[in-house]
Structure 1
Amino acid sequence: MLGLAGILVGLALLIGLAYRGWSVLLLAPLAALVAAAFASEPLLAHWTQTFMGSASRFLMQFFPIFLLGALFGKLMEDTGSVSAIAEAMTRTLGPRRAVMAVVVAGAIVTYGGVSLFVAFFVLAPMAEALFRAADIPRRLMPAAIALGTSTFTMSALPGTPAIQNAIPMPFFGTTPFAAPGLGIVASLVMLAFGLGWLAFAEARARRRGEGFGPGLMADVEGAAADATVRERATVAQGFDPIEAPRGDRAVAGPPTAVAFAPLVVVVVVNLVMSLVVLPRLDTAFLAEPRWGETSLAAVGGVWSVVVALAAAIVTVLVLNPKRLATPRASIDAGVNASVLPAVSVASLVGFGAVVAALPAFEVVRDWVLSIEGGPLVSLAVSTNILAALTGSASGGMTIALDALGAVYLGLAAVQGIDPALLHRVAVIGAGTLDSLPHNGAVVTLLAVCGTTHREGYLDIVMVAVVGAIVALAAVIGLGTLFGSF
């Protein structure tokens, strides 16, 4: 019982101080050592061997995606490409379809690989202009942006280069396009539910005579400079906000076709690498000790995303040779923006590894695996809970899969469950309760839009939590009946 109490105290310490803006880089090892101390386990060994071993493995597997994802997002922003796409949606849909314009613009840029905070940075002013013109309450802006950027394009749409979609791949030997049919179904459920809620909320506001209102101006610069926002944001998305204002921005953006081209490259190259190129390569050499005795199934998914992002970065630079007066400034800001988020999430993973190594964790593991409904329900619950506790979909999912991924894979083999189905359930599950009030992306989004939790959080819950849970239930139900498709 003392060991279990230590786990709970460590979690409470991590969550409580992280919510107050303390750095996870310090809190995660401290909380892990507290949990280990309650269990009378060797503290230094857990820090240097268990904690750092797991954190370093996470960085080894996923830092290339953090690095290239942040760099791609920064280049897309500084060349004016993200703004050009947002303006194209504004022209096409206009104020009469303001909500749809914001959602579609957010979905396009994030599915194309643009980092979440970069999308926030550009979409908030766009949403403010559209919502003001349409006289839609400001408080609905964060929910509209969240629906387009932080739901189906993060966890459900097949091939999304989001780090959340990459994390299950080494555990289950899957690709970014795992369970594509179920992913599309989940995406449609999230989109339909979210748009339906926003339409309902807008209509109710009009009946009440509630318009855009005064409020604060969208403050992307202020949010980027806020230390508390930064600490919370870096465990929830892959871009350090402090780097957003840095770099050399183009005076005028590119034509719409040029702006869209790198996003198309991401999707197409990712698909070709996953389904055509990598399966045809002779990768038997990966089994040798010098390559870590691994396999293509364990690394192929990450390779596909890395090559896709690298190709898109080259495309941005080739198509915009004169829009960046000093490309190095934007490149430096982009690569620097990847470091703190990657290390912060790795620290959460290290904390989870220490907890999973404690004898008392067997009680937690047995409880999770005993949940009625089978492995799919159990996996969904475990990723949900850990994402909620950490405020991070990527961190919570990695902790769950580090501790139980092999167990779920074994159960799937016995019960004839396709690992691709496990992949999709894990990703969607992690993208539900992660959007609690302390989530860094939520805090950042509200700050960028100039709204408070009291004003805008309920609508975020409906589109990012409730809609995602409905989609998760649909995927589990369909997967149980028909398997992966």
Structure 2
Amino acid sequence: MIGLIGIILSLILLMYLAYRGYSVIILAPLLALFAVLWSGLSHEVLGFYSQIFMTGLGGYIIKYFPLFLLGAVFGKLMDDSGSAKTIANFFVEKLGHKRAMLSIVLSCAILTYGGVSLFVVGFAVFPIAAALFKELGIPKRLIPAAIVLGALTFTMTALPGTPAIQNAIPMPFFNTDLYAAPGLGILASIFILFSGMWWLNKRVNSAHLNQEGYGQHVESHHYSKELTQSESPSLMIAMTPIFVVIIINLVLTKLILPNLDTAYLATDKFGNTSLSSVVGLWAIICALILACLTIIVLNWKYIANLKDSLQQGVSSSFLPIFNTASEVGYGSVIASLAGFIILRDFLVGLAPNNPLISEAIVINVLAGITGSASGGLSIALNTMGETYMNLAQQFSISPELMHRVASMASGALDSLPHNGAVITIIALCGLTHKQSYYDMFIIAVIIPLIALIGVITLGTMFGSF
């Protein structure tokens, strides 16, 4: 029982100190060893650090570093070539001012579904949204919620095929690919998009009735509607890399890779693995490499300094993966403690006849504690992934359904006020939590939770589809 108290205290401290702005890279090992000490294993502290924490951290980096690296480089190239802004401008121009909110949401959705990171999307779309909202008298405080709806909800966790890391993490645990449970994912995505738009439009109408207007703000970004051909690529050129990611990923996953002779993977040399456990990672890695090459070839004249773009993309990938990997190392230590067995049995027992419910609760809670969808998901599956796979087999639940529920569960309570993406978006827009977070909470927490409940209900009734 003392060990369990140590684990709970460790989790509370992790949440509080991360919210206060301390680096998870420092917090994770210290608080993991804090839990070890509470378990009465002070003589094993160094062993826990070098053999369990660092092994967990290193294993995560080995598995997912290519996705973080290529995703960051792809996003930087899309940004520096002007492609991201071209796509955002297209939706604004075609949908018109009357559908300003929808144009911003769809711009973010297309970019993130194509593999562009949230931070690049935010920097590309915010100046456009600010100018548009100011012209139409829409409150600036709604911009973060619009960006979140397009970039941090259905395109991150629900829409089949999305290259987001939150959709990739469950693959090796359930032997699935990015297209797991496509029907349920599409239904959830439609619900989130339409519900989110309903809420945002309702808030806009309420603001108009109250004659609120855009508000008095000092703008640090400037947006010009005049973008000449020499400054940015055409829409077709801008969209081509996104099509490459989507199409190549699908073709490799469903047609090419399954037909290759991969029997060699079952040998000791290659870790006695199988194609099903790596096909999703292989496909998205190849798709992102080809997409990056496509951007470079098609946008050679638009990228001012290719070397700098590549270097900045590479550099920007390090902090995110080490943050998440540190949380995985933390989870590995916690999972190895005797107190965790009590906690694990309690969590599984929350819904003894339906592991989908237990899985959703565990991942949501851990994502909320860490303030990270990928961090909470990684901790949950690294500590309990095998347990949930065994339960899925026991209750005849499709691994694809387990994958989709796991992915969607990571994208709800993660968006509490201490979430890094939430903080970044609000800061980018020059706003405060008090001004903007209420609408972000509805869009990124409440609506995805309702969608998750719907997926669990449909999956329980009809299975995966």
1:182 aligns with 2:184: yes
Q: Which whole-Å CA distance do the structure 1 matches of 2:85 and 2:285 have between them?
A: 24
Partner of 2:392: 412
CA distance in 2, matches of 1:5, 1:370: 19
Hey, what does 1:33 align to over in structure 2?
33
**Is 1:23 the equivalent of 2:2?**
no
Q: How far does the alpha carbon of each residue in 1:50-82 deviate from its partner, in whole angstroms, 9 at most, with x for none?
A: 111111111111010000000000000000000
Shift of 1:218: 5.3
1:305: how far off? 0.9
Q: Which residue of 259, 278, 281 maps to 1:302?
A: 281
Mapped partners of 1:189, 1:364: distance in 2? 34
Q: Deviations over 1:382-440 (max 9, x none)?
A: 11000000000001001111111111111111211110000000000010100000000
Tell me which residue corresponds to 2:112: 110
Correspondence for 1:225: none
Of 357, 376, 400 in structure 2, the residue corresponding to residue 396 of structure 1 is 376
Amino acid at match of 2:279: G
Q: Quick one: which amino acid aligns to residue 452 of structure 1?
A: T
RMSD: 1.2
Q: 1:156 aligned to 2:158?
A: yes
Confirm whether residue 450 of structure 1 aligns to residue 442 of structure 2.
Answer: no
Letter in 2 for 1:51: F
Cα distance between partner residues in 1 of 2:122 and 2:218: 16
1:167–1:398 CA contact under 8 A, matched in 2: yes
Give distance in 2, aligned partners of 1:398 and 1:344.
11
Match of 2:367 among 374, 378, 387: 387
Q: Which residue number corresponds to residue 211 of structure 1?
A: 213
Match of 2:446 among 434, 455, 466: 466
Distance 1:464 1:17 in 2: 23
Residues 197 and 384 (structure 1), Cα distance of their counterparts in 2 relative to 1, 3 Å cut: same
Q: Per-residue CA shift, 1:12-57, capped at 9, x if unaligned? A: 2222222222111111000001000100221111111111111111
Q: Which amino acid aligns with 1:14?
A: L
Partner of residue 47, structure 2: 45
CA contact (8 A) 2:14 2:369 kept: no
Structure 2: distance between partners of 1:64 and 1:376: 30
Q: Following the alignment from structure 2 to structure 1, what is the Cα–Cα distance between the partners of residues 280 and 62?
A: 14
Number of the residue aligned with 2:146:
144
- Cα deviation, 1:105-131, whole Å, max 9, x if unaligned, reads 000000000011111111111110111
Match of 1:263 among 242, 252, 270: 242
Distance 1:35 1:113 in 2: 37
Distance 1:370 1:4 in 2: 17
Match of 1:422 in 2: 402
Question: Contact conserved, 2:324 with 2:374, CA < 8 A, in 1?
Answer: yes
Letter aligned with residue 389 of structure 1: I
SS in 2 for 1:409: helix
Paired letter, 2:112? T
In the aligned structure 2, how far is the partner of 1:96 from the partner of 1:129?
14
SS in 1 for 2:278: helix
Residue 311 (structure 1) shift: 0.9
**Offset at 1:219?**
5.8
The equivalent of 2:226 in structure 1 is none
Q: 1:420·1:484 contact (CA, 8 Å) conserved in 2?
A: yes
In 2, Cα distance between equivalents of 1:218 and 1:3: 50
Give the letter aligned to residue 206 of structure 1: H
Equivalent residue for 1:78?
A: 80
* Counterpart position of 2:225: none
The residue type paired with residue 374 of structure 2 is: S
| Alignment correspondent of 1:237 | none
**Paired residue for 2:102, among 100, 103, 111?**
100
- C-alpha contact (below 8 Å) 1:113/1:263 kept by paired residues: yes
Q: Give the SS at the match of 1:211.
A: coil
Match of 1:290 among 247, 252, 269: 269
Structure 1: tracts of 5 or more residues without a match: 221-249
Q: Give 1:468 deviation, angstroms.
A: 0.2
Partner AA of 1:62 in structure 2:
Y
Q: CA deviation at 1:95?
A: 2.1
Q: Report what 1:243 is aligned to.
A: none
Give identity over the alignment, percent.
Answer: 49
Matches of 1:336 and 1:292, distance apart in 2: 30
Q: Name the amino acid aligned to 2:103.
A: A
Amino acid at match of 1:442: V
- Structure 1 residues 142, 218: CA separation in 2 closer, same or farther (over 3 Å shift)? farther
Distance 2:336 2:231 in 1: 54
Query: What is the aligned partner in structure 1 of residue 418 from structure 2?
Result: 438
Amino acid at match of 1:361: F
Secondary structure of 2:22 counterpart: coil
Aligned counterpart, 1:241: none
Indicate whether 1:329 and 2:308 are aligned: yes
Query: Which residue number in structure 1 is paired with residue 10 of structure 2?
Result: 10
TM-score (norm 2): 0.96
Q: State the shift of 1:161 in Å.
A: 0.3
Q: Please, which of 349, 353, 360 is the counterpart of residue 370 of structure 1?
A: 349
Change beyond 3 A, Cα 1:469–1:218: farther
Q: Deviations over 1:451-476 (max 9, x none)?
A: 11011001001111111011101111
Per mean C-alpha deviation after superposition, the further-off stretch among 168-177 and 321-330 is 321-330
Give the distance between the partners of 1:14 and 1:473, measured in 2 at CA: 28
Contiguous gaps of at least 5 residues in structure 2: 223-228
Moved more, 83-92 or 250-259: 250-259
Distance in 2, matches of 1:169 and 1:148, equals 24
2:110 maps to 1:130: no
Letter in 1 for 2:359: L
- Matched with 1:242 is none
Please list the CA deviations of residues 317-355 of structure 1 after superposition, one character each: whole Å capped at 9, or x if unmatched.
110121123210100000111011111100011001111
On the 8 A contact 2:80/2:304 being kept in 1, the answer is no
Query: Is the 8 Å Cα contact of residues 270 and 304 (structure 1) preserved in structure 2?
Result: yes
Instruction: Indicate conservation of the 8 Å contact 1:219/1:447, yes or no.
Output: no
Distance 1:469 1:427 in 2: 12
Hey, what's the Cα distance between the residues in 2 that align with 1:462 and 1:175?
30
Aligned pair in 2 of structure 1 residues 370, 219: CA closer, same or farther (>3 Å)?
farther
Can you list the C-alpha shifts for 1:242-263, whole angstroms capped at 9, x where unaligned?
A: xxxxxxxx97110011000000
TM-score normalised per structure 1:
0.92
Residue type at the aligned position of 1:189? F
Give the letter for the 2:231 counterpart.
A
Give the counterpart of 1:281 among 250, 254, 260: 260
Shift of 1:215: 2.3
The residue type equivalent to 2:404 in the other structure is R
- Displacement of 1:9 in angstroms is 2.0
